[in-house]
Amino acid sequence: DSTDLPEWLSRLNEPQREAVLSTDGPVLMLAGAGTGKTAALTARLAWLLRQRLAWPSEILCVTFTNKAAREMRERVGHLIGPAVEGMPWLGTFHAIAAKMLRRHAELVGLTSNFTILDTDDQLRLLKQLIQAEGVDDKRWPARQLAGLIDRWKNRGLNPADLDALENEAYANGRGQRFYALYQDRLRSINACDFGDLLLHMLNIFRRERDVLEQYQQRFRYVMVDEYQDTNAVQYLWLRLLAQGRRNICVVGDDDQSIYSWRGAEVANILRFEKDFPGAKVIRLEQNYRSTPHILGAASGLIEENSERLGKTLWTELDGGDKVRIVGVWDAPEEARRVGEEIERLEREGCPLDAIAILVRAQFQTREFEDRFLQIGLAYRIVGGFRFYERAEIRDALAYLRLIASPSDDLAFERIWNTPKRGLGDKTLEKLHRYARAQSIPLLRAAIEIADTDELPARARGTLVALARDFARWRDESARLTPAELARTVLDESGYTAALQAERSTDANGRLENLSELARAMEEYETLSDFLEHVSLVMDNDNSADEAKVTVMTMHGAKGLEFDQVFLPGWEEGVFPSQRSLDEGGLASLEEERRLAYVAITRARKRCTILHAANRRIYGQWTSSIPSRFIAELPEVHVVEESSMSGGASLWRAQWSEQSDPFAHVARNQPGKVASRGPGWQRAAAQPLNTAPRRIAETGRSAASMAGKARPEFARGTRVFHEKFGYGTVVEQEGNKLEIEFENGGHKRVLDSFVKVA
Ligand code: ATP
Ligand code: MG
């Protein structure tokens, strides 16, 4: 009888309410996008608490992201008041497992204050192990091993569980050994990595009956959102926990399983009924999020997949625009077009935070960021760094800055040992002291110091080579276009090779970002023009609470919704991704299609899909083919709008691009575009590299005073050198001294490292 129910519960539809009220026994809520699964799960949580069916600490509730957990907590608080304070077990798998593991750390040889390593620490540790074992870490990069170990952990495998094939995957049959060594090492430093959080807990549950039983008793209710993206270890862990009281409710959508590359197994949702016999399966079919055309387009698309349970979706919402397919000439036009539309939407009263641009690959954000800077549009990159802030882009920019301005010490410090050249902190310290004393830039100091005995021969050789590289690149910068220069530098410095050697998905993404950087540079005539542009983009960090357009990956957008969604880059090779096409399997293509389904169903009011006729790849125009997913959208739900419709305009566009090679450049010159917003104006007034330059200048004035005070070292002066000890000056040549040291040895040293004894 729904009259006794709180208003928020009677507002739910019948099957949603059933999911909320079916508190005893296993429940599977299997339903398409936007049908209110998360809403129902949230209501269920509120209901359990309101009815005192459990204390907050007796409910285990897993969300896919920390943000989703926060929102759920807020929402429940909104529904039933502050009673929800302290829901210790509401969070992501990782957050929950970490909390548990702190309580039982000693059972796996850790103490409760164990450290959780970040990726950098993890890689450093692995590298040490690899080198200590005498394995070539160029051929078998640490990152590759890290990826394998992560995959094993996601599958719930301990070192002893690996089979021969797994073992073969690294360093000719030493996978198992390295995995075991790594685990030992982690234990000895009282640390674990992310993958360990769940695996350790799973191991504990399997070995220690009493601990498992304690949790099985505690958790009266277990609930999981986005169940289709659980991996093996999460699944095993959950199943053990829920088998006590069997009050488990999971919700998901097999059509939205998009994380198989991270070990997620859609099979988990398909076998739920087997694991929990008698499970109540609830299907939701009414979609509350999207207008009929959006829903129709997405449903039509996903029907192309063969491996799915299949479901019907309908909506009571009516009207709404068809999904728009917009063909543009190239990526800059794509960004321009989206920018214009967003400005129009803003004028019409649409708040910026109701708008999202969802991309397939990180590199795609660059064009939009550049454009939004030019027109002064506030945006935020969610779940990643802004393009020019990504580590590999900063590295590349540091090289370029140092070529353009050899006194850019910050740039030098960023790249002097990146990729790894075997230089240590001691060397950098020396360089710093010397550079300060002489009031010269670090790069210059590197050359001068290499001419002395202050550093070990190896370091000297490396520094000389580096300095020569920079001298050569600087020469070449006059002759090469900025983009050519960037590619040369990335190749010759070994930066690209180091990334390629990693053979990881992550490294692939970073390589893509670097080619996108070169692509961005195609639009500039000189290196300094480009660097100027970048410094402007970097400064465009507008205030935190201003409404902003969201730019993020489709993967990151799971579970979210926006009024207006733009989906750029729907071309073969971008989306579906080149990798999914190369792998060629049906499975990877179907996963891409599920991703397309997720992307379209994020839209509430309007969805715009864009595809460019041309992409510039390594300076060459290549024409691209619209994504097969576009062709798969049912015609009744889409409308095509091509800026190049009609052969004439297509021809015009093509013609003007080719006959006027600078048409492109002119359009994209930052200075020629009307701008607004204080960020832009402030930025425009500033020269490039303001910060480093300022530092260099302060350094110079302090040092030049020190320079005036520099003593002359007369022949025969007895001096003390911190490394070589006492000695007598034989010769002075500028800032370099020839010294006969008392413990033997004739060395060339720098005067700033020497005191009169
Ligand atoms: P996804 O598969 O994308 O995660 P979902 O199934 O979790 O989607 P929700 O995010 O819970 O869907 O709901 C989608 C939208 O529908 C939300 O804006 C939500 O507030 C609204 N909604 C959910 N249930 C109802 C309902 N019974 N009546 C009205 N609106 C609803
Ligand atoms: Mg949801």
pLDDT above 70 as % of the chain: 88
3-class state of residue 329 by DSSP: strand
CB 356 within 8 A of CB 564: yes
pLDDT band at residue 312, thresholds of 50, 70 and 90? confident
CB 216 within 8 A of CB 171: no
Tell me if residue 37 is catalytic.
yes
* Peptide bond connecting 482 to the previous residue in cis, omega within 30 degrees of 0: no
Closest atom of ligand 1 to 256 CA is 2
pLDDT band at residue 695, thresholds of 50, 70 and 90? very low
Q: How far is the CA of 312 from the centre of ligand 1 (A)?
A: 16
Report the C-alpha gap between 265 and 258 in whole angstroms: 10
Give the model's pLDDT for residue 97: 93
| Residue 299 burial (CB count, 10 A) | 22
- pLDDT above 80: residue 489: yes
Q: pLDDT per residue over 513-565, tens digit each? A: 999 899 889 888 889 888 877 876 666 555 566 789 999 999 999 999 999 99
Lowest mean pLDDT among 74-78, 113-117, 339-343: 113-117
Closest atom of ligand 1 to 226 CA is 4
Tell me if residue 362 is catalytic.
no
Q: How far is the CA of 36 from the centre of ligand 2 (A)?
A: 7
- pLDDT above 90: residue 222: yes
Give the model's pLDDT for residue 716: 87
First to last CA, the chain: 97
Report the C-alpha gap between 231 and 225 in whole angstroms: 13
Main-chain phi, psi angles of 574, to 5 degrees: -100, -55
| ipTM entry | 0.99
Closest atom of ligand 1 to 253 CA is 2
Average of per-residue pLDDT across 402-412: 87
The single residue of 16, 17, 37, 322 carrying the catalytic annotation is 37
- Output the six-digit token pair for 546: 């201003």
Give the model's pLDDT for residue 617: 64
Decide whether any atom of ligand 1 lies within 6 Å of the 252 Cβ.
no
Considering 310-324, 342-356, 647-661, 715-729, the range whose residues carry the highest mean pLDDT is: 342-356
Query: 433 CB contacts (<8 Å, ≥6 apart)?
Result: 752, 753
Give the model's pLDDT for residue 735: 78
Closest residue by CA, ligand 1 atom 20: 39
Higher pLDDT, residue 407 or 642: 407
Average of per-residue pLDDT across 324-337: 95
Q: pLDDT per residue over 445-480, tens digit each? A: 998 888 888 888 888 999 999 999 999 999 999 899
CB 627 within 8 A of CB 360: no
Closest listed ligand to the CA of 289: 1
Closest CA to 223 of 103, 10, 76: 76
Average of per-residue pLDDT across 478-489: 93
Higher pLDDT, residue 710 or 668: 710
The single-letter code of the amino acid at 27 is V
- pLDDT above 60: residue 375: yes
| Residue 274 burial (CB count, 10 A) | 8
If DSSP states are collapsed to H, E and C, what string results for 364-377?
Answer: HHHHHHHHHHHHCC
Average of per-residue pLDDT across 241-257: 94
Give the model's pLDDT for residue 545: 66
Q: pLDDT per residue over 734-744, tens digit each? A: 778 889 888 87
Average of per-residue pLDDT across 187-209: 93
Decide whether any atom of ligand 1 lies within 6 Å of the 33 Cβ.
yes
The secondary structure of 493-531 as a DSSP string is TTHHHHHHHH--HHHHHHHHHHHHHHHHHTT-SSHHHHH
- Output the six-digit token pair for 493: 């410095």
Binding positions for ATP? 31-38
Closest listed ligand to the CA of 37: 1
Report the C-alpha gap between 299 and 289 in whole angstroms: 14
Decide whether any atom of ligand 1 lies within 6 Å of the 65 Cβ.
no
Closest residue by CA, ligand 1 atom 8: 34
Give the model's pLDDT for residue 539: 62
Angle at which helices 66-80 and 37-50 cross, to 10°: 50
CB 105 within 8 A of CB 93: no
Give the model's pLDDT for residue 621: 76
The single residue of 137, 193, 196, 225 carrying the catalytic annotation is 225
**Given ligand 1 and candidates 8, 20, 38, 282, which is best to mutate, with the most ligand atoms within 8 Å of its CB?**
38
Residue corresponding to tokens 């003007």: 656
CB 247 within 8 A of CB 22: no
pLDDT band at residue 84, thresholds of 50, 70 and 90? low
CB 218 within 8 A of CB 58: yes
Tell me if residue 225 is catalytic.
yes
Decide whether any atom of ligand 1 lies within 6 Å of the 315 Cβ.
no
Put residue 745 in one of left, alpha, beta given phi > 0 → left and psi -120 to 50 → alpha: left
Give the model's pLDDT for residue 652: 32
Considering 64-73, 180-189, 709-718, the range whose residues carry the highest mean pLDDT is: 180-189
Average of per-residue pLDDT across 424-438: 87
Q: How far is the CA of 593 from the centre of ligand 1 (A)?
A: 22
Tell me if residue 127 is catalytic.
no
Lowest mean pLDDT among 255-264, 291-300, 411-420, 703-712: 703-712
- pLDDT above 70: residue 645: no
Higher pLDDT, residue 167 or 25: 25
The single residue of 166, 226, 454, 516 carrying the catalytic annotation is 226
pLDDT band at residue 685, thresholds of 50, 70 and 90? very low
The secondary structure of 201-222 as a DSSP string is HHHHHHH-HHHHHHHHHH-SEE
Query: 517 CB contacts (<8 Å, ≥6 apart)?
Result: 366, 393, 396, 486
CB 252 within 8 A of CB 89: no
Closest CA to 415 of 400, 431, 427: 400
Decide whether any atom of ligand 1 lies within 6 Å of the 20 Cβ.
no
Tell me if residue 226 is catalytic.
yes
Residue corresponding to tokens 């993967």: 555
Put residue 86 in one of left, alpha, beta given phi > 0 → left and psi -120 to 50 → alpha: left
Q: pLDDT per residue over 182-194, tens digit each? A: 999 999 888 899 8
**Given ligand 1 and candidates 288, 291, 313, 598, which is best to mutate, with the most ligand atoms within 8 Å of its CB?**
288
Cα angle vertex 394, ends 392, 399, to 5°? Answer: 100
Decide whether any atom of ligand 1 lies within 6 Å of the 34 Cβ.
yes
Q: How far is the CA of 71 from the centre of ligand 2 (A)?
A: 12
- pLDDT above 90: residue 287: yes
Residue 358, beta-bridge partner list = 552
CB 238 within 8 A of CB 210: no
Report the C-alpha gap between 728 and 720 in whole angstroms: 9
The single-letter code of the amino acid at 38 is T
Tell me if residue 602 is catalytic.
yes
Q: pLDDT per residue over 586-620, tens digit each? A: 889 999 999 999 999 999 999 999 999 998 766 66
- pLDDT above 90: residue 410: no
Q: For the chain, give the mean pLDDT.
A: 85
Q: How far is CA 233 from the centre of its chain?
A: 23
The strands making up 736-741's β-sheet, listed across from edge to edge, are 746-750, 736-741, 725-733, 718-721, 754-756
Q: How far is the CA of 380 from the centre of ligand 1 (A)?
A: 24
